[in-house]
Amino acid sequence: MSTAKDLCIIAMDERPGAGVGQGDLSLALAGAELIDLLAVEAASLDGDSIVPGGPYEPHDELVAEALAALIREIPYESVEDWLWRRGRDLSDTYQAALEAAGQLTRGRRALLPFGNDRLEVAETPVRRRAQSRWEAGEPTLLALAKAVGIADTRCEDSSEHASEPVHEHEAVTTVLAIVNDAVMELEAVRQRRSIENAAFANVWRVP
């Protein structure tokens, strides 16, 4: 199971106009990788520090890359630092991996929110797995999707989805909270740059 791949597929399956920011998705993908490593005890958290765990041989190449990227010397890396380091251009990496594996096809349905090519998710077991987790309301996948702005529209009028997803593991809750904080920080940077650019542009309009 690769929560990151499932998240990427869900993001790419979004309706046109409901775009997910490349940077936001990259941060969430890094969080998803860490959550999967925690699930197999290949890593654990000591507070918000990532402590490498026991031996683990991933079957997924990108999960293997994430495992190899863990800092294995004290002081260990914080979750926040991991998100920014591992997450750099990670959405592009996942898109390329999915396309190389035949999970994406060139189509006419919609422009990806983080690319210039018209790509769509192919109907494969990988897509069906992601959709199955999404439709089942898997809490971690829903929370990561929500962090990047993907609304849970499976049953909007049902009170079943009115509350926040419940996460049984404290470490997962910690990672999700830090993912949310990182996405908000990235948005704050975008807004600040937008204001600065607008102010600079106005300088040149002054007669």
Phi and psi, residue 17, nearest 5° = 95, -15
Using one digit for the tens of pLDDT, what is the confidence trace for 107-130?
654 444 555 456 788 899 999 999
C-alpha distances in Å from residue 103, one per residue of 6, 123, 149: 11, 8, 23
Using one digit for the tens of pLDDT, what is the confidence trace for 43-69?
999 999 999 998 899 889 999 999 999
Q: What is the pTM of this model?
A: 0.82
Other Cβ atoms less than 10 A from the Cβ of 73: the count is 7
C-alpha distances in Å from residue 173, one per residue of 30, 167, 168, 188: 15, 6, 8, 23
Domains of the chain, residue spans? 3-154+166-205
